[in-house]
Amino acid sequence: MPDYILSFVRQHWKSLFVALIIIGLCLIPSSELNKIEVNITAVDVVAHFLMFAFFTAILFWEQSRLPGKNLRDAILLKRALVISFSLGIITELLQLFFKRLNRSGSWIDLLFDFAGSLTGAYIIMMLTKRKADRPI
């Protein structure tokens, strides 16, 4: 395996792991989800929001830890949001096109994916700002 791929995986293993969990959860067949006796629509949108907030926060934080980078870098924020938005679109398309799963892509889920992504980035920025503003 090329060194640049190994380096990328070492630097971003947390966000890659979370992305795989998100994809896995989004591909659970509906027959398995029906076994859970809760209101899926309410749980579903909250789960999408939280998953993507967590993913974006970890991705943004991991990128800021690279040499010469910090959380005040707008390019890192944009990159994290584009990657997170792309993951949201991909998961909804997978649900839409894999008919065997009996799942359907949803604009509402995608909206909550995006809202979670924005919230995750905002939380990391505010936590970092608060830490930077503290007196030594």
Each residue's pLDDT tens digit, 46-87 = 999 999 999 999 998 888 887 887 766 788 889 999 999 999
* pTM for the full predicted model: 0.83
Task: Give CA–CA dist 58/37, Å, rounded.
Answer: 31
Contact (CB, 8 A) for 52 and 120: yes
pLDDT confidence bin for 32, thresholds 50/70/90: low
Task: Give CA–CA dist 37/91, Å, rounded.
Answer: 23
Q: Say whether pLDDT at 136 is over 70.
A: no
pLDDT digits (tens, 9 = 90+) for 3-18: 888 888 898 999 999 9
